[in-house]
Amino acid sequence: MVFLRTPTITSAHISPEAKAAFGSRTSPLWCRQLLVDSRLSPVLVGWRTRDRARTNEDSYLSGVMNDPDTIGAWHTLYRPLPDTNHNDNNDDNGTSPLAGELLCLFSLGSGVNGHVDVAHGGVTAGILDVAMGTACSIFSTEGDSNFTLELNIRYKKPLATPGVYLCRAWLQKRTTGRKAWLQALIEDGNGEVYVESDAFWLDVPAKPKL
């Protein structure tokens, strides 16, 4: 089975910019509460720290979108399903997640605007996509690559800039092979939903080393 039920998580320390954006006295209360929640595990995200001198992979995210005026800070946490409710199978209508979810805190600057003081919808789509891609990667065999085949987005409210938000992403359904369906949403941490999304992903196994 390509997609795993137990996530492979590389722990990460919170970056100085994320600590300032999400853990300071002026940060929203819900951000500070997430950072001290012992049930959550920090997750290393490679795209944020990619060495652009060695590779052009994720250059859009690690370069243009890694700036105080665009996405000034990002911090990812993993929240497992409660043990009492965990079941290896979906419910009958497929609305229950298969495993835990990723909680991605991020701050937006005015450099991502479309309309005045409003984040461009394409930037929002990119955030949803990278959050679901990270969820895909931690449930995949090491070395595999994940690709978006279909991405559906429902915009509910504009994302005001500058601002701090939470993107939640989780694995909804998968086959015993290479296909996976994920869901994600962006909210303000208090349950106010701005954007919803679902996507179909394909896992491409790593080529064997010669």
Task: Check residue 73 and give its pLDDT.
Answer: 95
Question: If residue 154 lies in a helix (H) or strand (E), which one and from where to where?
Answer: strand 145-155
> In terms of pLDDT, which residue wins out, 99 or 136?
136
Structure tokens that stand for 56 in this block = 């052009």
> In terms of pLDDT, which residue wins out, 141 or 90?
141
Residue 85 has pLDDT above 50, yes or no: no
Residue 78: band (very low, low, confident or very high) from pLDDT cuts 50, 70, 90: very high
6 assigned to some structural domain? no
Task: Check residue 119 and give its pLDDT.
Answer: 96
Task: Check residue 94 and give its pLDDT.
Answer: 47
Structure tokens that stand for 147 in this block = 């690709």
- Residue 160 maps to which CATH number? 3.10.129.10
Give the Cα separation of 141 and 3 in Å (integer). 6
Give the Cα separation of 34 and 153 in Å (integer). 26
195 assigned to some structural domain? yes
Residue 9 has pLDDT above 80, yes or no: no
Residue 151 has pLDDT above 90, yes or no: yes
Q: Quote the number of domains for the chain.
A: 1
Task: Tell me the whole-structure pTM to 2 decimals.
Answer: 0.85
Residue 5 has pLDDT above 70, yes or no: no
Identify the CA nearest to 127 among candidates 142, 147, 101, 107. 107
122 assigned to some structural domain? yes
Tell me if 151 sits within 8 A of 197, measured CB to CB: yes
pLDDT in tens, 24-56: 999 999 999 999 999 999 998 877 777 778 888
185 assigned to some structural domain? yes
11 assigned to some structural domain? no
Task: Check residue 172 and give its pLDDT.
Answer: 85
User: In which domain, by residue range, is 180 found?
Assistant: 16-50+57-80+98-205
Strand partners, 88: none
pLDDT in tens, 108-141: 999 999 999 999 999 999 999 999 988 888 877 6
Give the Cα separation of 157 and 175 in Å (integer). 33
